[in-house]
């Protein structure tokens, strides 16, 4: 019912300090995908889909915070899951990637494991969907655009290639989450966004990111001094 991408990106902040960011983006032809599939924290990103077991995402991201590798943590969860062969589960952490597609997932299903990223999908029009997601991410990963913008672009590429094959279902949804090892005085508004019910969720997501970016920049311009003085400053 879904296709998604998880990524890890090392970067340097303005002070020259080394950090990492982790992102996950997902879309499907059902409402509210952001409540079920994407998980991220400062240790990694995980997506759980197909016949969704939300605990695989919740526990998976918790395992990463406890110091387990994404490979060991997600494999252990699948080994304890009686519905393993109906699941798709993938993710990234600081040291590697993990991706699994059970043999009982619905065609077309499959996955790609790249350099610091994973892509997976099921009930798709074909393999070209996840290939397009991966290719768009590869093309844009060195751009200066925020990761959320580039993840939305990757979803758009998959959608344009056909996406979810259930065209009789008009209501769709999308979600993006980005987390960092760097502590920021204020997290960009576009790092945790959802479009829960729309016929054009990727278009709506891109517009939402644009508006959230404008709002974030305006907020920094007006309240930057207050944010610097108070880590708990908010909306």
User: What is residue 234's predicted lDDT score, i.e. its pLDDT?
Assistant: 47
User: What is residue 184's predicted lDDT score, i.e. its pLDDT?
Assistant: 85
User: In terms of DSSP bridges, do strands 117-121 and 110-114 run parallel, antiparallel, or are they unpaired?
Assistant: antiparallel
Mean pLDDT of 125-138: 98
d(CA 117, CA 99): 10
222 has pLDDT over 90: no
User: What is residue 231's predicted lDDT score, i.e. its pLDDT?
Assistant: 52
Share of the chain above pLDDT 90, in %: 83
- Contact at 8 Å (CB) between 20 and 11? yes
User: What is residue 167's predicted lDDT score, i.e. its pLDDT?
Assistant: 86
User: Other CB atoms closer than 10 Å to residue 169's CB: what's the count?
Assistant: 14
**Please, which residues bridge with residue 38 across strands?**
47
d(CA 198, CA 6): 23
**Mean of the per-residue pLDDT values of the chain:** 93
Q: How confident is the model at residue 156 (pLDDT cuts 50, 70, 90)?
A: very high
Q: Mention every residue, 6+ apart, whose C-beta is less than 8 A from residue 207.
A: none
User: What is residue 228's predicted lDDT score, i.e. its pLDDT?
Assistant: 55
d(CA 126, CA 149): 25
* Short-list 70, 74, 4, CA closest to 33: 4
Q: Is CATH 3.60.20.10 what the domain over 2-229 is classified as, yes or no?
A: yes
In this predicted model, which residue has the larger pLDDT, 232 or 108?
108
191 has pLDDT over 60: yes
The DSSP output letter for 186 is S
pLDDT digits over 158-189, tens only? 999 999 898 888 999 999 999 999 998 788 88
- Contact at 8 Å (CB) between 45 and 177? yes
d(CA 38, CA 26): 7
Q: What angle do CA 40, 45, 48 make, to 5 degrees?
A: 95
User: What is residue 230's predicted lDDT score, i.e. its pLDDT?
Assistant: 55
User: Other CB atoms closer than 10 Å to residue 192's CB: what's the count?
Assistant: 17
User: Other CB atoms closer than 10 Å to residue 86's CB: what's the count?
Assistant: 17
């Amino acid at each position: 019912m879904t296709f998604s991408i998880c990524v890890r990106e090392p970067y340097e902040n303005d002070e020259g300090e080394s950090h990492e960011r982790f992102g996950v983006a997902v879309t499907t032809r059902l409402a509210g995908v952001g409540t079920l599939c994407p998980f991220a924290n400062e240790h990694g990103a995980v997506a759980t889909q197909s016949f969704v077991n939300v605990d695989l995402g919740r526990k998976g991201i918790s395992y990463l915070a406890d110091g387990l590798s994404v490979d060991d943590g997600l494999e252990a969860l699948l080994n304890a899951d009686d519905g393993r062969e109906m699941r798709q589960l993938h993710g990234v952490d600081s040291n590697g990637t993990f991706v699994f597609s059970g043999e009982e997932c619905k065609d077309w299903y499959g996955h790609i494991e790249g350099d610091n990223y994973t892509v997976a999908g099921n009930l798709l029009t074909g393999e070209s969907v996840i290939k397009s997601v991966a290719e768009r991410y590869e093309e844009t990963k060195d751009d200066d655009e925020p990761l959320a913008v580039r993840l939305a672009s990757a979803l758009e590429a998959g959608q344009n290639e056909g996406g979810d094959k259930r065209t009789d279902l008009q209501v769709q949804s999308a979600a993006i989450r980005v987390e960092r090892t760097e502590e920021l005085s204020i997290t960009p508004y576009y790092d945790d966004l959802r479009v829960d019910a729309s016929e054009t969720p990727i278009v709506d997501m891109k517009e939402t990111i644009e508006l959230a970016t404008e709002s974030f920049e305006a907020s920094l311009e007006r309240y930057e001094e207050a944010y610097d003085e108070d880590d708990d400053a908010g909306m």
